[in-house]
Structure 1
């Protein structure tokens, strides 16, 4: 079997940047969805686009599995866990603390070590941090995935993990509380089985990357039609069920997420050969994508506070300013941070 580690990764560069920018759009658009009158066209356009953008966290989880299984041979787990501690966990802790201190400064919270500990554990100080909590669980179980997926048949393991993910989405936590009424845990959405299908799919893709690329190229018509159909159904269902969710909404969204990840992965193949030249100017953005993910919501919060202080109340005007600040501010700050880190590393090497 052709293994993924021999494949150039420009497609993953494209997806990293694309997913990161879509996440910014989702969070920058939340005020429109929460506050704009439902009779306005802008509300429905943003609502539908935001709903159709809701596959990117699942896409990030899938990409994390892909990159994990690019590695050949036996993994050095000590080095692996140290690298994840330095590159994933420590930045997460730093930014949770920064968010918390900012909210304390704005008088949303009164500083408490126990409250800060809660936010670090559950990632619920801001909407986007839960992804890191879920991802760390997958990383902690890396030896299990290496043992299981290198021996597993994709035709078996993918349907099984899809069923597990769907069951967690259908309220398995509530069912558990019926059996054990004393169970007070309510954050079932933070547990890794909820996203296990996307992680498993990523691991399988990483193992058989060349075959996966060939599949995307051969089935592009089917994948495109599947995506258009699922996107249309998801948009229609969002409009019809606004305000009450609707039955099977989670299952329909899962189907859409699968179709969207396949479709945009297929588009990313345009950057695997000659098209890679167009990504070279964005290499820094790719390296800074995790930092951008962590910081962008704080940029949005600060922008909203400044807009409030200046008395800007027009929702479309606030939206335009917020989008500009979220994209430009987050990217520029993180690129400067990346440059600063490189300069510090050079100085340390000289010394």
Structure 2
């Protein structure tokens, strides 16, 4: 009796080469987020240096949007958009890497702040509301938006599959229009703030930046599109490297100039100026676009000392934990400064920034090491699971 031929094995799709730029940008973005939150502490000084505020609060405004750019790039880089998406498996993996850490860190901050500020713990219904809007701590809303992006992944695949230069340009214009309306429309914002406090609609509109993915659709879709067309993107970066650099600096100058205009010509305070010259204003959107392309270009073609690569690697490797933990250190370092009688002057603020960054990175490295022996720590805090043998 002849042997039956064994069924042909399904072809295994090779993973694409690792792109260090993705990891390096994560680290830079994390540093930028810490700068924004350190700047918020510095703004409590009534005589704060507006130029240092420009560095901490304006120049770093690419940080949150570029996280979405990199997240989309990483998702689409090893994804075949022409094959059906295993949505269940996709969401299971993303919930393990994002949802579980989000819930763990939310509970951590609610318990910590409840004890530290003596405000107690929220009731169950309020707790669910906090989780939905991402308000347990000021940096956690990013994970809420990211979860919504994951939930809508089939939509992004469909958009990226059909995207081209013209459609991306139109999407960028639509993004400018929508973000301008959401941030600066007087009738809309008057309506929102005019709603009674007991209105069920008010929190859904007040916290719209915490969960409306539409505020960041363009930069997410762009990240996915460039990942799918990685070879064309690499050729573009190599060919137009100088133009990309000029575009980045021009966009930065535009956003910073807008900040100074608001202060010197319009008469805004520094706080009012940074709440206007942010990542969702037109200048901020161009700066986000320019930053995304610029950082990817310089980290791909190494136009900087290579001795920095190990540092950039560590910043990127521990960026997730450092991003999540840094408000904890901001709380205690601020208390230590107050008790020691030190004011948040410009020199103190610069040292303060590097102390927060250093403590956050140190805690991330230590917990990551401990997590190698106690896997549950890494699983719950950063969604990293032991590799299957």
TM over 0.5: yes
Matched with 1:297 is: 327
SS at 2:342 equivalent = coil
C-alpha RMSD over aligned residues: 3.2
| CA deviation after TM superposition for structure 1 residue 46, in Å | 3.0
Matched with 2:289 is: 258
Matched with 2:209 is: 189
Equivalences for 1:111-260 in 2 at 5 Å? 111-113=121-123, 114-150=125-161, 152-172=162-182, 175=188, 183-184=201-202, 185-186=204-205, 187-190=207-210, 191-242=212-263, 243=268, 244-245=272-273, 250-260=281-291
| CA deviation after TM superposition for structure 1 residue 72, in Å | 3.5
* TM-score under structure 1 length normalisation: 0.85
* TM-score under structure 2 length normalisation: 0.78
Q: What is the rounded CA distance, in whole Å, between the counterparts of 1:5 and 1:93 in structure 2? A: 31
SS at 1:252 equivalent = helix
Q: What is the rounded CA distance, in whole Å, between the counterparts of 1:238 and 1:251 in structure 2? A: 12
Which one of the candidate residues 319, 330, 333 is aligned to 2:360?
Answer: 330
**Larger fraction in helix:** 1
Q: What is the rounded CA distance, in whole Å, between the counterparts of 2:45 and 2:310 in structure 1? A: 39
| CA deviation after TM superposition for structure 1 residue 102, in Å | 1.8
Q: Which runs of 5+ in 1 are unaligned?
A: none
| CA deviation after TM superposition for structure 1 residue 279, in Å | 3.0
Instruction: Pick closer, same or farther for the CA change 1:177–1:241 going to 2, 3 Å.
Output: closer
User: Residue deviations 1:169-209, cap 9 Å, x none?
Assistant: 12258649969x88533223230011000001001011011
Instruction: Pick closer, same or farther for the CA change 1:268–1:117 going to 2, 3 Å.
Output: same
Q: What is the rounded CA distance, in whole Å, between the counterparts of 1:228 and 1:241 in structure 2? A: 20
| CA deviation after TM superposition for structure 1 residue 22, in Å | 1.9
Rg larger in structure:
2
Contact 1:69 1:203 in 2 (8 A): yes
SS at 2:372 equivalent = helix
Contact 1:161 1:200 in 2 (8 A): no
Contact 2:16 2:78 in 1 (8 A): no
